[in-house]
């Protein structure tokens, strides 16, 4: 069993003008069905990728690799204006 690297599940940056949540994208064993070494992919998956994603470089990943980050930004709510709408 491979050891999971110690990375935070998510990081929440305190709200200023906007709130941000960062979440790492890391590969899990099931990702390698499509992202593993080309020669280890099932022939059907390989053919599908070749047809629909020509020039795909997203193979030869290994398990528990850091592959990017998802960032969600939310604008902080505007302060309430006392009884006045625009």
Binding positions for ligand HEC, rule: CB under 6 A: 25, 27-28, 30-31, 33-35, 49, 53, 56, 58, 67-68
Task: Please say whether the beta carbons of 37 and 60 come within 8 A.
Answer: yes
- Cβ distance to ligand HEC smaller for residue 25 or 74: 25
- Contacting residues for 52 by C-beta, under 8 A, at least 6 apart: none
Q: Which two tokens stand for residue 37?
A: 């070494």
Rounded to a whole number of angstroms, the minimum distance from the CB of residue 82 to ligand HEC is 47
- Cβ distance to ligand HEC smaller for residue 51 or 82: 51
Rounded to a whole number of angstroms, the minimum distance from the CB of residue 13 to ligand HEC is 22
Task: Please say whether the beta carbons of 32 and 41 come within 8 A.
Answer: no
């Amino acid at each position: 069993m491979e050891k999971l690297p110690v990375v935070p599940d998510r990081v929440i940056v305190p709200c200023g003008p906007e709130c941000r949540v960062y979440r790492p994208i890391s590969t899990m064993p099931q990702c390698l069905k499509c992202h593993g070494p080309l020669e280890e992919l099932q022939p059907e998956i390989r053919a599908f990728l070749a047809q629909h994603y020509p020039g795909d470089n997203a193979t030869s990943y290994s398990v528990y690799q850091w592959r990017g980050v998802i960032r969600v930004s939310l604008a902080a709510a505007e302060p309430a204006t006392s009884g006045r709408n625009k």
